[in-house]
Amino acid sequence: MSTPKPHHVPSTGWIEVVTGCMFSGKTEELIRRLVRASIAKQQVVVFKPAVDVRYAETEVVTHTGARLPCFPVATASDIEAKVGDAKVIGVDEAQFFGPELVEVCNRLADGGRRVIVAGLDQDFLGRPFEPMPQLLAVAEYITKNLAICMVCGGPADRSQRLVARDQRVLLGSEHVYEARCRACWNPHHFDDPQDTLPISG
């Protein structure tokens, strides 16, 4: 009687998405997972869009000051070119990349990598912020963080823009945005209609 051959399970990767509004701790959670992977002796590499220079050019930085070295890249395709042998890939501010990011993340996961992506799920008008909806659809693991509403103190899932600018992408932090709950959020009301508040980035 022949011995059955053991079933071969291929090494598979996956995609994790951490999402939510501004100030909900997305980057903080991304850094936490990447640091734990490094402690486990896994090779880690981190990317962010080159346009994001609010706090640092070559680091992923939280609003509270935690930071991790990263590669700033102009396009999602640049991520694949710089991944090297890393088994864990972090991508911050994913909403600033185009739809190509979904294909890149899928290819990396198909190749056995763990891909952790953080980004806004909605823009300041409450619209799904591509490519995040597509990433949420293909991810194995999804975490949605809530912030604290700066008006009522309740759970917040919206980003209130405080300055009167209508472009979709507007880099900034506490001078430009604050977290709001559904009831307190008003996308067409600006605290500073003359746009005199300072803007970072």
Using alpha carbons, select from 78, 5, 91 the residue that is nearest to residue 44.
91
178 belongs to the catalytic site: no
For residues 170 and 176, the answer to whether their CB atoms sit within 8 Å is yes
Check if the beta carbon of residue 159 is closer than 8 Å to that of residue 21: yes
Kindly name the residue from 16, 29, 93, 178 that is annotated as catalytic: 93
Residue tagged 């507007």 (tokens): 170
**Per residue in 11-47, is it b (16+ CB within 10 Å) or e — as a string?**
eebbbbbbbbbbbbbbbebbbebbeebeeeeeebbbb
- The answer to whether 31 touches 62, Cβ cutoff 8 Å, is yes
Active site residues: 93
